[in-house]
Amino acid sequence: MIKSCKRALLIFTPALLAAGIFAWSSAASSGSISQNGWRSKVSPDLLEEFDNGGDPGSLRDVIITTAGKPGSQHSAAVLASGGSVKDTYGVINGISAKLPLHAIEALTRRNDFAFISKDRPITVFGHLENTSGAAQIRNLISSIPSLNGAGVGIAILDSGIYSAHHEISYNGVSRISVNVDAGGFGNATDYSGHGTHVASIACGTNHVGPGAYTGVAPGATIINVKVLDRTGTGYTSNIINAINWCVSYRYTYNIKVMNLSLGAPAVDSYQNDPVCKAVRAAHDAGIVVVVAAGNDGKDQNGNKLYGTIHSPGTEPSAITVGASNTFGTDSRADDVVTTYSSRGPTRGYYTDALGNKIYDNLIKPDLVAPGNKIIGAEAYGCTLITDHPELDANVYETNTYHYVMYMSGTSVATPVVSGAAALLLQANPSLTPNLVKAILMYSAQPLKGYNTLEQGAGELNIDGAVRLANTIKNPVSGLTNGQPLLVGALPAQQSTIAGQTFHWGQGVITNFTFLYDSDLMNNWQGMYGQGVLLSDGTYVSAGVILKKASLVTPGVSVSTGVVLSDGLLMTSGTLVSSGVALSDGDLLSDNTAFCDGVIISDGVLVADGVIISDNVGYTTLGDPGLCSTPLPDGTVK
């Protein structure tokens, strides 16, 4: 049944509260925070406006996180300050509001107001079956007639979807189970063209081509949640509204995967970022959340840039996806990371009471997937084509509902991974979001010559991921740390796609490092459970990265470094020194050395002066206290 957009929006908040989805804590009582402590509760960009003496009575669109369930006392405080409340979001314990600049200090001095950030603009980031390995696993499982994502709901949070396109419909019937307007646009139709293309990459049918442009999970159910306008822009509050709705109705529409091919420059630490908080709530509710890394991997002169991961790709619970370039060939031998794909580490931060900037510095992206010049569905009359007719792929069949177009970006790579997640959940419905993420990383193919801050665990390998998921016990519920995870033996840890055989990376990223060893899949790890994150499996103590014994078994190794890849295993190098990746808070581009032990040069990264990559092997530096410079042959001086 398809509900109207307007009706869905009108009922989402009451239904969320009535269903009792979240265990609310009681609202904190009012109190005060003395001296400058309140400043740590305001996002840096909003604080800058406050400090620069803007008109104190001018209104700002903000997201307010409350200490506990948002209630009448919070609304009253906003109203008393001269502001107004726009909406309430149970998913993050917060509200969106218009707030006068002068009210920021007074409200954040109250103990029941946890954090205030700007309601920031959100924008999109602008042969698949064969090269990803999806085609060869369709009939892998004898009990499943076709492994195509059937029964799994994928929520596409984007510019809407053009439902009449033949990649979205089947025999004239739309595969969209519900249309939701989460931004007050008046409908959920796609005038931009971005959302339709993204949806077709994740779960487009084989009607066009024929079959040349089939999506990764063509049998999945589509949940269309519009959060962006015809120009591909929206606001933080739209995204939170949409996630709130998805969590509330996850059982009604069997929403197992959420795709966010969008983002905004990361300002706040993920610990305070309201969109990251909403993503974490969806993850904790059992939804696999897949997000784009961003397209800021190079500057206007073509130099590589690090530290450019967008929000909510900075959130540890999300699967953050960068883009690879397949050059249009099914073979993966020529695949590379695209020049524009955003690189880590994450650079969201918070400012402590002493004015120090504390950066997150997490390893992202988690993996990369094909995202360059990918052909997918073209929405009729969309602005992307009217403004950029060169994107049209010139594939015309019987009518306009068959048109397809090119798009590039991490926006396109993200639904490839969302479709892959749907296939894993069809193969083994008991998988937790953490286990889905771990399987995708463990089976990924490290691309030679790219460090972990560029490619994460490597390039998506659907063949390996599905074979692995099919070997894992079903159900996994009830397993405890160290218990056998597999039914039978671990499959061969290599895949052959389009004639090329490659080894899996066999590693799982956990914030500042990654864990590796076959025991990651032989045995259940506590970090795969609900209520925790993969990143909880490790922690930093006195500058040393350690495993958490209750979440990670003894047979799993902490990498002595995660920065480099030799095309087989990423088990050399070091990222964190004293728990900090970059000490001065600034990231520069080409050939910039940091005397605290980190060097960035043409994608070669040395931390603690220990490891450097020559795209083939490794060279060890003798003195970790030196700032060293790589030579073209991979040696150092």
Tokens 């190794």, residue? 557
pLDDT over 90 percentage in the chain:
58
Tokens of 62: 């903000």
pLDDT at 2: 32
CA-based max dimension of the chain:
70
* For residues 266-285, average pLDDT: 96
The Cα–Cα gap between 627 and 633 comes to: 18
- pLDDT score recorded for residue 328: 83
Of 308, 235, 261, the C-alpha closest to 587 is 308
SS (H, E, C) 163-225: CCCCCCEECCEECEEEEEECCCCCCCCCCCCHHHHHHHHHHCCCCCCCCCCCCCCCCCEEEEE
Buried b (16+ CB within 10 A) or exposed e, 553-586: beebbbbebbbbbbbeebbbbbbbbeebbbeeee
Highest-confidence range of 247-256, 296-305, 567-576, by mean pLDDT?
A: 247-256
| pLDDT at res. 399 | 57
pLDDT at 400 over 60: no
CA atoms of 631 and 608, how far apart (whole Å): 18
Q: Which residue has the higher pLDDT, 495 or 33?
A: 495
Report CA dihedral (625, 631, 634, 637) to the nearest 10 degrees: -30
Pick from 18-27, 163-172, 386-395: least confident: 18-27
- On the CB side of 319, CA atoms within 13 Å amount to 32
- Confidence band for 563, pLDDT divided at 50, 70 and 90: low
Mean pLDDT, residues 466-489 taken together: 95
Angular region, 222: left φ>0, alpha ψ -120 to 50, beta rest: beta
Residue type, 226: K
- Find the range with the poorest average confidence among 84-88, 91-95, 494-498, 562-566: 562-566
What's the whole-number average pLDDT of the chain?
Answer: 81
Cβ pair 461, 503 in contact under 8 A: no
Task: Tokens for 94, please give them.
Answer: 């917060």
Mean pLDDT of 122-150: 77
Q: How many CB atoms lie within 10 A of CB 79?
A: 12
Q: What confidence tens digit (pLDDT) does each residue in 500-557 have?
A: 999 999 999 998 888 999 999 999 999 999 999 999 999 988 878 899 999 999 999 9
**Cα separation of the two ends of the chain:** 67
Domain annotation for the chain: domains and CATH numbers: 28-119 (3.30.70.80), 123-497 (3.40.50.200), 567-637 (no CATH)
**Are 564 and 599 spatial neighbours (Cβ–Cβ below 8 Å)?**
no
Q: Does 19 have pLDDT greater than 90?
A: no
Bridge-based pairing of strands 404-407 and 494-497 is unpaired
Q: What is the pTM of this model?
A: 0.81
Q: Give the span between the Cα atoms of 437 and 103, in whole angstroms.
A: 42
The answer to whether the CB of 250 falls within 8 A of the CB of 293 is no
pLDDT (mean) for 232-254: 95
Q: Residue range 83-98: average pLDDT?
A: 92
> Is 256 a residue whose pLDDT tops 80?
yes
Rounded Cα–Cα distance for residues 382 and 312 (Å): 26
The answer to whether 636 and 621 are in contact (CB under 8 A) is yes
Q: Dump strand ranges (E) for 3-111.
A: 59-66, 84-89, 94-100
Report whether pLDDT(239) > 70: yes
Q: For residue 338, what pLDDT is reported?
A: 94
User: Regarding predicted confidence, which is higher, 317 or 594?
Assistant: 317
Pair of tokens at residue 150: 């059937």
Q: What is the reported pLDDT for 624?
A: 26
CA distances from 218 to 40, 192, 206, 254, 548 (A): 46, 22, 8, 16, 39
2 alpha-carbon distance from chain centroid: 28
Residue 212 or residue 559, greater confidence? 559
- pLDDT tens for each residue of 51-70: 887 677 789 999 999 999 99
Mean pLDDT value across residues 352-378:
91
Average of pLDDT values for 280-302? 95
Residue range 110-132, pLDDT digits in tens: 999 999 999 988 766 545 677 77
Tell me the mean pLDDT in the region 301-330.
Answer: 93
pLDDT of residue 592: 31
pLDDT of 140 above 90: no
pLDDT-derived band at 392 (thresholds 50, 70, 90) equals confident
Mean pLDDT, residues 392-399 taken together: 68
